[in-house]
Amino acid sequence: MTNIIDGRKIAKELNAKTKKRVEKLNAQGITPGIVVILIGDNPASIIYTRNKHRTAEKLGMKSILRKFPKDVSQTEVLQAIHHYNDDPTIHAILIQLPLPKHLNQTELIEAIAPEKDVDGFNSRNVGKLYNNEDGHYPVSCTSRGIMTLLHSYLDKIEGKNVTIIGRSILVSRPLQSLLINENATVTMVSLHTDNIDYYTKHADILVVAAGKPNLIKKDQVKPGATVIDVGINRTANHHLVGDVDFDDVKEVAENITPVPGGVGPMTIATLMQQTVDLCEWNR
Ligand code: NAD
């Protein structure tokens, strides 16, 4: 029987744990604080940042949604980042991506203090993850959320063959490191890969982060595989669909995430978890 991986339920449970941690910190006179920076008027970014801001408030954190117009200058955003780097009531800084084209994304991400880099995109934190360093550091929230989902449905990651479709720095590459650090064998495929089916059919765990609606069908999936669909695609009639043809693939997968209700809720819950982590690690 196929298990539908319930991202909403697991996110809710994680949020409940995070709320308890916030309450414990509150009792010591500490309030975890997050600032979410939104630049421009990308409709998806507006929804994501609103959800992040509201969830943080609901869990009892200090939450700031800092908005800038789409023509804001690089200097003005840098000044805001420096301001929040120096603000002891803020433990986590997130810049919602993608950014308007005139802004230098790398410079802005590198400007975030590594100990407040809640999405783990700063090169210092990326390097620590890549090197599998001991100690505490933030990692990509979507990737860590996917690991939480996998751990909820699988006994172990070690020894599994994993194929990741896509090689983005936001999701796929940090996920690759997290999986390798748990002794999985990871193959990454992209638009430049010949015969993608060869790699998908050998995967015990198939992660699809391509941004292509219904790209993956059941004849490309190993029977009994765990399938994680990261894609969020909006159809012409405003429905959300993933990169995996869910109804087709669920006939062969053992575990599969739906869209919506799979990876998406985990990204926000992990952001909340990691904000409290940063507060605890750096107080
Ligand atoms: P991206 O959009 O930056 O890059 C897509 C990658 O997929 C590229 O490496 C490309 O080579 C590869 N690719 C595209 N089409 C392919 C094909 N037909 N065959 C093989 N490879 C192909 O990647 P991203 O930022 O990781 O985003 C991927 C998807 O995940 C998007 O739909 C995005 O909206 C979604 N996303 C969801 C969450 C979440 O919280 N659920 C978070 C981040 C991104």
The arithmetic mean of pLDDT across residues 90-114, rounded, is 98
Which residue has a Cα nearest atom 18 of ligand 1? Answer: 191
* pLDDT at residue 24 tops 90: yes
Distance CA 99, CA 139 (A): 20
Instruction: Report whether residue 171 contacts ligand 1, using a CB cutoff of 6 Å.
Output: yes
Buried b (16+ CB within 10 A) or exposed e, 160-192: bbbbbbbbbebbbbbbbbbbbbbebebbbbeee
Task: Give residue for tokens 């810049």.
Answer: 95
Burial of 283 (0-12, 13-18, 19+ CB in 10 A): exposed
pLDDT at 170: 97
Around 194, how many Cα atoms within 13 Å sit in the side-chain half-sphere?
0
What is the distance of C-alpha 102 from the center of its chain?
25
Residues 48-85: tens digit of each pLDDT: 999 999 999 999 999 999 999 999 999 999 999 999 99
**Residue 283 confidence (pLDDT):** 85
User: Which residues share a beta bridge with 94?
Assistant: 36
Report CA(167)–ligand 1 centroid distance (Å). 8
**HSE-CB for 138 with a 13 A CA cutoff:** 33
Predicted pLDDT at 249: 98
Q: Residue 60 carries which DSSP code?
A: T
pLDDT of residue 52: 98
C-alpha distance from residue 205 to each of 153, 233, 245 (Å): 11, 22, 16
- Mean of pLDDT values over 120-129: 98
pTM over the 0.95 mark:
yes
Helix (H, G, I), strand (E, B) or coil at 66: strand
**pLDDT, tens digit, 9 for 90 and up, residues 187-204:** 999 999 999 999 999 999
Residue to mutate, 105, 144, 175, 230, ligand 1, most ligand atoms under 8 Å from C-beta: 230
* Mean pLDDT on 154-163: 98
Residue percentage of the chain with pLDDT more than 70:
100
pLDDT at res. 130: 98
* CB burial readout 107-134, b (16+ within 10 A) else e: ebbebbbbbbbbbbbbeebbebbeeeee
Question: Residue 234, SS3?
Answer: strand
Amino acid at 115: E
pLDDT at 41: 96
Q: Residue 138: is the preceding peptide bond cis (ω within 30°)?
A: no
- With H, G, I as helix, E, B as strand and everything else as coil, classify residue 33: strand
How many angstroms separate the CA atoms of 4 and 262, rounded? 9
Cα 200 to ligand 1 centroid, rounded to whole Å:
16
Where is pLDDT greater, at 110 or 235? 110
Residue with tokens 């941690």: 21
Work out the mean pLDDT of the chain and round it to a whole number.
97
Extract the runs of DSSP E, i.e. beta strands, from 123-208. 161-165, 185-189, 205-208
pLDDT of residue 238: 86
Task: With cut-offs at 50, 70 and 90, classify the pLDDT of residue 1.
Answer: confident
**What whole-number distance in Å separates Cα of residue 37 and Cα of residue 17?**
25
- Residue 217, token pair as written in the block: 């069908």
33 strand-pairing partners? 62
Instruction: Specify the pLDDT at position 62.
Output: 98
Q: What is the CA radius of gyration of the chain?
A: 19
For the segment 234-256, the average pLDDT, to the nearest whole number, is 96
% of the chain with per-residue pLDDT over 90: 98
Q: What's the rounded mean pLDDT across residues 44-50?
A: 96
**Cα 182 to ligand 1 centroid, rounded to whole Å:** 23
